[in-house]
Amino acid sequence: MTDTSVTEIAVQSIILATKLAAPTLIISLAIGLGVGLIQSATQIQEQTLTFVPKLLGIALVIVVTGNWMLGQTIGFVHHLFDMIPELLRA
């Protein structure tokens, strides 16, 4: 196992983590921004008001993209297992 292969695996795992987290974070950000705008327009400053819409939005994102997320993760793990003989030879 060389330092190049370790770096390659680390970069691939960071890219995978970013791809998997992006839909959830984008929806959470959009919902938070929308609720924040409504709160500032109505001057309701309740901190717990954003919790339920974000929870529902994130649950919906996980239901919609969960299959894709699992497929990406399984593909990455299969790729890692396929790399084991190459890593042992080096």
Q: Does 19 score more than 70 pLDDT? A: yes
Q: Would you say 28 and 58 are in contact if contact means Cβ atoms under 8 Å apart? A: yes
**C-beta atoms surrounding 82 within 10 Å:** 9
77 pLDDT band, cuts 50/70/90, is very high
Q: How far apart are CA 51 and CA 10, in angstroms?
A: 33
Least confident of 1-5, 10-14, 26-30, 75-79: 1-5
The pLDDT tens digits of the residues spanning 20-67 come to 999 999 999 999 999 989 988 988 888 788 889 999 999 999 999 999
- Model confidence, pTM: 0.81
For residue 73, what pLDDT is reported?
97
For residue 40, what pLDDT is reported?
87
**C-beta atoms surrounding 5 within 10 Å:** 13
Q: Does 90 score more than 80 pLDDT? A: no
Q: How far apart are CA 59 and CA 31, in angstroms?
A: 13
- Please state the domain extents for the chain: 3-89
DSSP string covering 40-78:
HHHT---GGGGHHHHHHHHHHHHHHHHHHHHHHHHHHHH
